[in-house]
Structure 1
Amino acid sequence: MIKIVFNLLNKKFIFTMFALITIQQILVAMGTACLSLSGQNLNKPTHFVLFITGFLILSILPHFVTIFLRKTEMQGYFQAYYSFIELRLLKFAGSAKIWPNHQQKEKYQTAIGPEAENYLTAIAFSIFDIFLFLLTIALNILAISLVVDSRFILAFAVSAIVSYWVFSRLSSSIDQLIEREQENKMRFLSYLLKSWDNVFLKNSQINQKYISKLEGHFEQTYELIGKANFQTELLVLILTIASCLPVFVLIIYLTVTHLQDASYLAGLMVTIPKQISILSNYRSVFQQVTNLNTFTTRFRSYWESSHLTESDLSGRIKPEKIRLNGQAFDSVEQLIKDLDTTKKGRILITGNNGAGKSTLLVHLNAFLPESFYLPSSPSLEIGDQLGSESTGERILKHLEFVANNPTPVLLLDEWDANLDNTNKELINERIDQLARQSLVLEVRHRS
């Protein structure tokens, strides 16, 4: 999953981020070194002022880098999301062969929505934050070890090893819990997409049934979110304690053994807040690793749900239950061959519910070289601003688009649904005009 995210990120963006973070943390580490040296030079006013001035300047400079870092960061994350959309959506433009069923469609639309962008951004953010914290730890430990005492390298190394051991022991159970949480969350969000008709229409039995099931999905997800986050924070607390002990023991030991060396103690004491900050960065590293696992698990579900393959549309079509202008036809393949020789006119597709009439239109759209599919209640990008028009006005706008961009085959799916008689007659006349130049195949809501 991490590899997939890196492939979505622009390579120039990745290089720029790592470069800016490195520059920023080098400045921070130089500030740590100046702070240590100022403590060791309390008895030398000139040197003390020089080092403390350097520390103050170096405390400000990283914030200038942050300005460019944040700008680059947010643009890069959004660009990665667009790459995700290109890969999972836009590259399939015109691929009617992958038209999903309704359940797949709802899950797919959820998968490519804003939640995917949030988790993709969170994964990338965690990766760069882990690099930032590790670089901060390494450079600041190096600065303290060179200026104060080299044994701090060993103490921080022991802290890292103990922390990693604790993390590797406890993190797998949390990952499993997060996976269950995400599965339930996806079910909740998919069910939420069915809310419009089930909530806003005044059908009390349906309303209550829908709300009851939605509450059930919510309660399951709510409980798992609580468990996952509690265990995650408990792990972070344990890691914090484990990482602090070796360094705190060394600080106490060095303090006791250098009680007579005021200069050494001054240099050591001024670095204690920085050392605590380094240890908190250990906590931050493991917290971000935990977050990375969480976000990766959640993004994986969106990545997998956004994967569409070619559908066997013909398997959903029952030719024996469908009529074309009242006549039976042998097979979909033969129909496609016959349509190649039919240049104009209207063909009415009729049949029982579930016979696959609408699927037949989608299938024809996939295999006929030049065809235009107009779904029921269309809102295609036709150049005109589609706003508060009635269904009839919307269909007429789409038909005008087709008239201005002639196509050999026009496929109309239940264009007469939810239309009054006046609009039906008006649109029917317009279709008659189009049928003088093109072949029109139509599924009528009421034949």
Structure 2
Amino acid sequence: MFLNDKRFLCALAFTLSQQLLLATSTYCIASAGIALTNGNINHTLENISLFFIFALMAYISSSAATLLSTRASNNIWKIYSTATLLTATESVQYASEKNKQSISQWLGAEALPTIAHACEFYLEMVSVALNIILTLAVFYVAVGWEIASSIAASLVISFALVMLLRRRIERLAGTMQHRRQDALLSIEPAWTCSMFGNRKMRTAGLRILDEKTHRYFREINKYALLEQVVACCPIIISTLALIAVFQFTDLFRASIAGALVALLPRSLQVFGNVHALSVYLSQFFLIGAKLRNLEGFSAGLEKHQQMHEEPLLSVSVWDSLTQKEIRPSDLIQKLQCTGRYWITGENGSGKSTLLKIIKDSAADAILITPETYFLDAGSGLSTGQRRIKEIENVLSMAPDILMLDEWDANLDEGNCGKIDRLLDEASRRMLIIEVRHLRSGGHPSAGRSSCDPSTG
């Protein structure tokens, strides 16, 4: 996902450059300390100047890496979102309100921050690891292997701890993602219960939200504790090892003492980076598990597998021109026709399923449901005005087939009449198929339908 993005690879290159420049600046300040101990002021000043020059170049490289990282994460999220939406809309079998809400929450609340965090995290981890390795190399050259090896040992311990806890970290990652998703999806029901329900419903809705967020935060707290244990143990061990080196060896000469004093601020930074790298090592598996969950998200979507096999015996289809009833299978054979057809039947009889079957067979058909809005109609419009604007917009696209699922739900007689006239006119040039909510007289109103005999 990340290594295929050129911006991210360039950011990695700038990160490497930054750490090489910082290591060079560290060597310069160590050389300045040695020169000062030996009384060579000119050499001291020269190395201090080089220290600032290399440090400045390192910070410029860091800024370039950050800019490229931001652009890379944006591009990676766009590619992932497009791929997820294409997969989730490749078949009407995925058409469900649950999938729509899950995808919306997942792409916005999970994928976007996860990808942005991962992009930043990988660069920081590489930066910290390089900083430690290159700084230890400078320590080895400037003050000897004893101090360098004491710090290096902490890295080995940290890596061993993380590997021991890897499986637990990965399980926590999956649990946190799913519980976060559950908590976010419970916000809307809690709002609905609080706004429109009675006191009992309000209390129940808020209680469910509280329970789900509590479970999510509990997993976060578990991981935070685990992470800090992994981070602190190596620092404690390496600090004790360094004190032992200082107290029980005759390591120090005047020049080494000067270099070590000059490097003390960098020593503190190295300890901070060892602590950070310990955290990053645990997060490496956490983020890896999250990214694998991103890749597997589409496979877990709800799918109406048996859609084409469901019996539609309780569904009636009416030809609005002849006022005659036809079989659902006959309607599917008339997709090259123009005209207007009504679908009727009891709740749960399969009316909406029939529309989805037709949409699955005719990819360029347009299906409007009560929850479907193709454009932002703006505020201040009534339900009827917004629905009229939606249908006018769709008709302007001149589809061959337009299907409407209960477009007249919650509309008054005036707006129903306006839309009815729009559809009747449009049926002269396209196929209109409707599931109606309101019907008068028990039969479809007068309309027209025609089909070229050559197309059946």
TM-score between the two structures when normalised by the length of structure 2 = 0.86
Could you tell me which runs of 5 or more consecutive residues in structure 2 were left unpaired when the two chains were aligned: 440-456
Q: Find out whether 1:314 has 2:310 as its counterpart.
A: no
Aligned residue number for residue 272 of structure 1: 264
Aligned residue number for residue 120 of structure 1: 115
Matched letter for residue 355 of structure 2: L
Query: Structure 1, residues 186-242: CA drift from partner, whole Å, max 9, x if none?
Result: 221222243453332244443333222222212222322222222222222223223
Q: Secondary structure at the match of 1:354?
A: coil
Could you tell me which runs of 5 or more consecutive residues in structure 1 were left unpaired when the two chains were aligned: none
Q: Secondary structure at the match of 2:2?
A: helix
- Maintained 8 Å contact 1:97/1:312: no
Mean alpha-carbon deviation: is it higher for 193-202 or for 408-417? 193-202
- TM-fit CA distance, 1:90: 4.2
- TM-fit CA distance, 1:79: 0.9
- Maintained 8 Å contact 1:111/1:306: no
Query: Structure 1, residues 298-321: CA drift from partner, whole Å, max 9, x if none?
Result: 444444334458643625844012
- Maintained 8 Å contact 1:329/1:335: yes
Q: How does 1:223-242 map to 2 (within 5 A)?
A: 223-242=218-237
Aligned residue number for residue 286 of structure 1: 278
Q: How does 1:183-202 map to 2 (within 5 A)?
A: 183-202=178-197
Aligned residue number for residue 81 of structure 2: 85
Q: How does 1:260-409 map to 2 (within 5 A)?
A: 261-307=253-299, 308=301, 311-312=304-305, 314=307, 317-325=310-318, 332=329, 335-337=331-333, 339-340=334-335, 343-368=337-362, 370-381=364-375, 386-409=378-401
Task: Give the % identical residues.
Answer: 21
Query: Structure 1, residues 391-412: CA drift from partner, whole Å, max 9, x if none?
Result: 2222222322343332222101
Query: Structure 1, residues 396-443: CA drift from partner, whole Å, max 9, x if none?
Result: 223223433322221011101121121111111211111222221111
Aligned residue number for residue 449 of structure 2: none
Q: How does 1:114-193 map to 2 (within 5 A)?
A: 114-193=109-188
Aligned residue number for residue 34 of structure 2: 40
Matched letter for residue 241 of structure 1: I
Report the Cα distance in structure 2 between the residues aligned to 1:168 and 1:378, rounded to whole angstroms: 49
CA distance 1:159–1:92, change in 2 (3 Å): closer
Q: Which of 10, 14, 18 does residue 16 from structure 1 map onto?
A: 10
Report the Cα distance in structure 1 between the residues aligned to 2:408 and 2:426, rounded to whole angstroms: 16
CA distance 1:400–1:27, change in 2 (3 Å): same
Report the Cα distance in structure 2 between the residues aligned to 1:243 and 1:323, rounded to whole angstroms: 79
Report the Cα distance in structure 2 between the residues aligned to 1:378 and 1:318, rounded to whole angstroms: 26
- TM-fit CA distance, 1:106: 2.3
Q: Find out whether 1:439 has 2:412 as its counterpart.
A: no
CA distance 1:363–1:177, change in 2 (3 Å): same
CA distance 1:147–1:319, change in 2 (3 Å): same
Report the Cα distance in structure 1 between the residues aligned to 2:407 and 2:309, rounded to whole angstroms: 21
Mean alpha-carbon deviation: is it higher for 157-166 or for 420-429? 157-166
Q: How does 1:197-212 map to 2 (within 5 A)?
A: 197-212=192-207
Mean alpha-carbon deviation: is it higher for 369-378 or for 72-81? 369-378
Number of aligned residues: 432
Report the Cα distance in structure 1 between the residues aligned to 2:404 and 2:108, rounded to whole angstroms: 28
Report the Cα distance in structure 2 between the residues aligned to 1:199 and 1:317, rounded to whole angstroms: 38
CA RMSD of aligned residues (A): 2.7
Q: Secondary structure at the match of 1:319?
A: coil
Query: Structure 1, residues 18-47: CA drift from partner, whole Å, max 9, x if none?
Result: 211111111111111111111111111111
CA distance 1:422–1:313, change in 2 (3 Å): farther
Matched letter for residue 291 of structure 1: Q
- TM-fit CA distance, 1:182: 2.8
Matched letter for residue 113 of structure 1: G
Query: Structure 1, residues 373-395: CA drift from partner, whole Å, max 9, x if none?
Result: 122254204xx754432222222
- TM-fit CA distance, 1:55: 1.9
Q: Secondary structure at the match of 1:419?
A: coil
Q: How does 1:28-107 map to 2 (within 5 A)?
A: 28-42=22-36, 43-90=39-86, 95-107=90-102
CA distance 1:127–1:322, change in 2 (3 Å): same
